[in-house]
Amino acid sequence: AGFQTLCSWMMHSRLEPMKTLARRIRRHWQDILTYFDHRCTNAILKGLNSIIQHIKTRARGLRNMDYFSTMIYLTCGKLDLATVTI
């Protein structure tokens, strides 16, 4: 009830940033509660997505999806290429 009261107070504020924050809290309310229940976030996935987006930006010359997925595996797979012998 505390957060609901706070959000209601914020929505009646004359400060637009307060209203924006209240809308954001209401929009993500279930995710906020889930975090406190499980102590788990999607930060790892967001980090991997950021790396993949960087690969996509850097790899303008890749010809097809096979090359793109290979670059993702090479970058995100934490492969130790120093131990590979031919």
Query: Alpha-carbon distance 73 to 52, whole Å?
Result: 10
Residue range of the domain that includes 63:
43-83
Same domain, 34 and 54: no
Residue 22 contacts residue 10 (beta carbons within 8 Å) = yes
The mean per-residue pLDDT over the stretch 14-19 comes to 94
Q: What does the pLDDT look like over 33-49, one tens digit per residue?
A: 888 999 888 888 899 99
pLDDT band at residue 27 using 50, 70 and 90 as cut-offs: very high
Q: In the structure, what pLDDT confidence band is assigned to residue 85 with cuts at 50, 70 and 90?
A: confident
Structural domains in the chain (count): 2
CA distance 31 to 42: 10
Let me know whether 24 and 53 are in one domain: no
Global confidence as pTM: 0.54
Claim to verify: residue 48 and residue 79 sit in the same structural domain: yes
- Residue 81 to residue 57: CA distance in whole angstroms: 23
